[in-house]
Amino acid sequence: MLTIYGVYRSRATRPLWLLEEIGLDFAHQPVIQAYRLPIAEAPDAPLNTRSPQFLAVNPMALIPSMDDEGFVLHESLAITLYLAKKYGGQLGPKDLQEDALMVQWALFAATGIETPALDMQKLLGGDQANTPEGTTKAQALAASLERPFDVLEAHLKQTGTMVGGRFTAADIIVAEIVRYAQGYAPLLAARPALKAWLEGCQARAGFKAMWEKRLQEPA
């Protein structure tokens, strides 16, 4: 049985969304981030990234992790692309070139978008959001996202999807990273192709099923 370790309120949403799209049976082992707990080492603490049981799976103490019939893999991008290639059919690459393009766009989003986008999400959800300082910081983060978002806008205006003219694991990965900055409306309002693509990804039944399970978890 395929097992995914990690809570929905984490980067585990990437493989978990993909699995909803595939409709593949799997076991989900919730593992919460240790920093979210008052005392992660407490005897009554839930299974978390510092629990010995999980450290035996991933000594780096990070989620998600995957165990596919004894094959253990870490890192959300690697897990998502592996599952797409093994089980995803049209959600995975059809040839070596598509495989390379999926890796390219996954790394593009992870290295060029994820850090400032996550900072944007944290800022907009925090106490500074409506302060002058928060506004200035949000504008600076948005400025750092303009170039990669312009690249996505041009690409999606031409192709409609990330790879192959169809919805694939690459769309899942990039959409989940872009989502972090979705709350800063001007970024998407200025880029209609990117906005329409993201809204289309999030309108899919697979995303909605994953998101509903995410909402059921404690914040």
Q: Quick: pLDDT tens for 83-142.
A: 999 999 999 999 999 999 999 999 999 999 999 999 999 999 998 888 999 999 999 999
Helical (H) or strand (E) element with 57: none
**One fold for both 2-90 and 93-207?**
no
Which residues of the chain register pLDDT less than 50? none
Pick the CATH number of 2-90 from 3.30.460.10, 3.30.70.1230, 3.40.30.10, 1.20.1090.10: 3.40.30.10
Tokens of 172: 């899942």
Q: Find residue 78's DSSP bridge partners.
A: none
Write b or e for each residue in 46-78: b if 16 or more Cβ atoms lie within 10 A of its Cβ, otherwise e. Answer: eebbbbeebeebbeebbbbbbbbeeeebbbbbe
| Domain assignments of the chain as residue spans, ordered by start | 2-90, 93-207
Instruction: Tell me what pLDDT residue 142 has.
Output: 98
CATH code 1.25.40.10 for 93-207: no
